[in-house]
Amino acid sequence: MNILEYMTDMGRQAREASRVMAAVGTAEKNAALLAIAEAIRSDSDAIGEANARDMAAGREAGLDAALLDRLELTPARIGGMIEGLQQVATLPDPVGEISELKYRPSGIQVGKMRVPLGVVGIIYESRPNVTAEAASLCLKSGNAAILRGGSEAIHSNQAIAECIRKGLQQAGLPETAVQVVATTDREAVGALITLPEYVDVVVPRGGKGLIERISRDATVSVIKHLDGVCHVYLDDEADADKAVAIAVNAKTHRYGTCNTMETLLVARSRAAELLPVIAREMSAAGVELRACSEARAIVNTMTVADDSDWAAEYLAPILAVKVVAGLDEAIAHINRWGSQHTDAIITENYSLARRFLREVDSSSVMVNASTRFADGFEYGLGAEIGISTDKIHARGPVGLEGLTSQKYIVFGDGQIRQ
Amino acid sequence: MNILEYMTDMGRQAREASRVMAAVGTAEKNAALLAIAEAIRSDSDAIGEANARDMAAGREAGLDAALLDRLELTPARIGGMIEGLQQVATLPDPVGEISELKYRPSGIQVGKMRVPLGVVGIIYESRPNVTAEAASLCLKSGNAAILRGGSEAIHSNQAIAECIRKGLQQAGLPETAVQVVATTDREAVGALITLPEYVDVVVPRGGKGLIERISRDATVSVIKHLDGVCHVYLDDEADADKAVAIAVNAKTHRYGTCNTMETLLVARSRAAELLPVIAREMSAAGVELRACSEARAIVNTMTVADDSDWAAEYLAPILAVKVVAGLDEAIAHINRWGSQHTDAIITENYSLARRFLREVDSSSVMVNASTRFADGFEYGLGAEIGISTDKIHARGPVGLEGLTSQKYIVFGDGQIRQ
């Protein structure tokens, strides 16, 4: 069987399973989640052994340390998968929720019902714990899932897939509700993203190259996250303590995350006061500062920034710094150079905060809070399949609700159109 | 200037205008809508003359009567455009609406704000009144619009575009907030749907060929409507009067609309009672019935249906008829052969109605009402840019809200992530 046939078969089975999953009750879905958690617990030795094979192959293939770290399933990470599954079981079931039910002049009653998307494809890279996480979110939201992990994690993923199969079977749900692609052939991805008949949406999780390639080639819908070029703007009326604390936290709390600040914008009227303090704290944390000439005139240890810095997602201890005239220039800079991910203003001014909220076109817009809060858990979604920087469907952190949509429902008493 | 440059330029200007439009207040948008309406009223002679040129060219080119009818701008249709603009001015502004604002344990307050999509491309065919309609919906929802009408309506569309320009100018809004493509070159469409930097979403309105081509080739998001293969299922426990009235209305009220019933499903236990009555009324209305053998054994004037009839969107006085065992077969038939548009069950049974609502995977699912109600006006959206049969973003009739999305907003008092 060639890859296209293999994936088409998988898609057909997923479509069939999705019909069953859409109608399954909350209790059955939760039972399956807990049974999968239990299977992972009892099979943790086998999962560890499979992971050891991947790790050995990875070392042999010369994977770098960061990649090997992401690939490793320590006992703590296996425990994390189990906890994650149990936690998703406690989340409210989004499926079937009816809202906005209103009578119309014709006498019909019109509302919306939240329903699963159908078949969700998740394409991810080295971290095998994503297999359990993605399966749990798709399952709870009533979707069938096709999961395609990184080839370097193939044995780990197949061991986890076996636990998922056991759990589904035990709960009486179709085993094809979650299918994990068993081939490392790269053509499998190409097939998965071009089967609109069987796949409703794909969520690529991984490096920018992967996501760009999938966005370009996909004929099915894609929920994607590209860059996180996040800004903090210290306004004329910023509280100095909040400004410094948030700027430092947004950059130094973690360097490699997509909601980390990459550019700091400072209002001209506050630059001389705030920049030296921030520069001192950033330097103490080992952050390199690349700045515009105006900022460098204030803190001369900063290096020169050019346009590429305004567009950079460093994911590293580097920060671009720019002095701006005020709110208008800050908003223009963010909308021009940002990635529509997460941007914050620090201000005590009510009207400026209101304008920033409305005019910054990003998936998360904040007032007086660290960009690091842009996260499904911090937002109370309970879980996160990714962060979308798209404009349609879901924007920002995508939880269970982002894996559903709403159909219209109409109740009548025999009404006909006049 | 070649077409790609022309469209890229238009896209760039639309993107710039979209920033302005996103921040514009409700009053200014309404003023622009009313000013456009007034411009159409005072320029109605010029619009009529432009339309006469299109009609003459269309007759010369041998366009068929149906196409010529859609192309014609009668005084009544010009009046309809004016009323439509005035009506959209009275609709609530969806932009800026804040919902679900909740405190989190960290102390931040997280909610959602409804925001425009940005730049919306609308691609449509012969009806020039769509130019005013699409402009009004994009404008009210705070989007910039690029409109590409049919080449046969070029003069009519340009005359309407001139009125839109005047109205925008008069209200002090950027004239580039609504741009109407001034070339009939087909390459313009290809360019419009492959400019993700400048276009956020395209809405194709027209024949299936157009929509399929755009879906296949677009690299920007598409909100689309393919077929309307709608079903009415007369359940074992259907009220006979409601069943007959709704079946007849869903088919005969209008033949050419996408929410018209194309297949009637009848529970075996009710076929002998209901089919003869329905067949009599359908025949009286001139509807040809194509049926399964079981139905033909009851009403022998019906012709033979094959699989192609279950998939057919006739848009004509033809109806496919099938006897099914009961609810399960009805749902399976609809999910197998339908187009996920609009499907109705006629029943007095509470539990079967509940199952039908949940398990039929269509954008509108109805109980005891005619499929003809699937319409933005009947649903209370106030207006409709189209009906989506997609799974993500908007499903069913798409009004102003479907031209927006929600971003997250976060209010803090200096919170940092621990």
**What is the ipTM metric for this complex?**
0.93
> Can you give the C-alpha Rg of chain A in angstroms?
24
Each residue's pLDDT tens digit, A232-252: 999 999 999 999 999 999 999
What average pLDDT does the structure give for chain B?
96
Q: What is the pTM of this model?
A: 0.92
Residue B243 has which token pair? 């069943």
Is there a contact between A240 and A273 (Cβ–Cβ < 8 Å)? yes
Each residue's pLDDT tens digit, A52-107: 999 999 999 999 998 999 999 999 999 999 999 999 999 999 999 999 999 999 99
Single-letter code of the amino acid located at B202 = V
Single-letter code of the amino acid located at B97 = E
Q: Read off the pLDDT of each residue in B397-410 and give the average, rounded to a whole number.
A: 96
Is there a contact between A313 and A228 (Cβ–Cβ < 8 Å)? yes
Q: Read off the pLDDT of each residue in A287-301 and give the average, rounded to a whole number.
A: 97
CA-CA distance, B261 to B374, in Å (whole number)?
A: 11
Q: Is the pLDDT of residue B89 over 90?
A: yes
Q: Using the beta-carbon criterion (under 8 Å), do B223 and A106 form an inter-chain contact? A: no
CA-CA distance, B386 to B124, in Å (whole number)?
A: 11
Q: Is the pLDDT of residue B208 over 90?
A: no
CA-CA distance, A225 to A379, in Å (whole number)?
A: 17
Find residue A123's DSSP bridge partners: A148, A204
What average pLDDT does the structure give for chain A?
96
Place of tokens 């003023």: B31
**What pLDDT score was predicted for residue A305?**
97
**What pLDDT score was predicted for residue B365?**
98
Each residue's pLDDT tens digit, A161-210: 999 999 999 999 999 999 999 999 989 999 999 999 999 999 998 888 88
Q: Read off the pLDDT of each residue in B264-292 and give the average, rounded to a whole number.
A: 98
Chain B residues 236-275 within an 8 A CB cutoff of chain A = 239, 241-242, 245-246, 248-250, 253
Name every residue whose Cβ is closer than 8 Å to that of residue B310 and which is 6 or more positions away in sequence.
Answer: B263, B320, B322, B333, B337
Determine what percent of chain A is predicted with pLDDT higher than 90.
90
CA-CA distance, A372 to A87, in Å (whole number)?
A: 22
Q: Is the pLDDT of residue B206 over 90?
A: no
Residues of B in contact with A362 (CB under 8 A): 407
Q: Is the pLDDT of residue B226 over 80?
A: no
- For B391, the closest of A118, A215, A370 (CB atoms) is A118
Query: Distance between the two ends of chain B, CA-based, in angstroms?
Result: 55
SS3 sequence, A350-417?
HHHHHHHHHHCCCCEEEEEECHHHCCCCCCCCCCCCEEECCCCCCCEEECCHHHEEEEEEEEEEEECC
Task: List the single residue in B with minimal CA-CA distance to A404.
Answer: B392
Is there a contact between B302 and B289 (Cβ–Cβ < 8 Å)? yes
**What pLDDT score was predicted for residue A224?**
85
**What pLDDT score was predicted for residue A48?**
97
Q: Is the pLDDT of residue B1 over 80?
A: no
CA-CA distance, A298 to A300, in Å (whole number)?
A: 6
- For B369, the closest of A22, A219, A410 (CB atoms) is A410
Chain B residues 294-323 within an 8 A CB cutoff of chain A = none
In this structure, the strands spanning A396-398 and A261-267 are unpaired
Place of tokens 């439509």: B84
In this structure, the strands spanning A119-124 and A144-148 are parallel
CA-CA distance, B91 to B89, in Å (whole number)?
A: 6
Task: List the single residue in B with minimal CA-CA distance to A250.
Answer: B416
Size of interface A-B (CB pairs under 8 A): 228
B410 in reach of chain A (CB within 8 A): yes
> Of A303-312, A380-389, B94-103, B369-378, which gets the smallest average pLDDT?
A380-389
Q: Which of A261, A417, A418 to mutate to test the interface with B (most CBs of B within 10 A)?
A: A417
- For B359, the closest of A22, A369, A396 (CB atoms) is A22
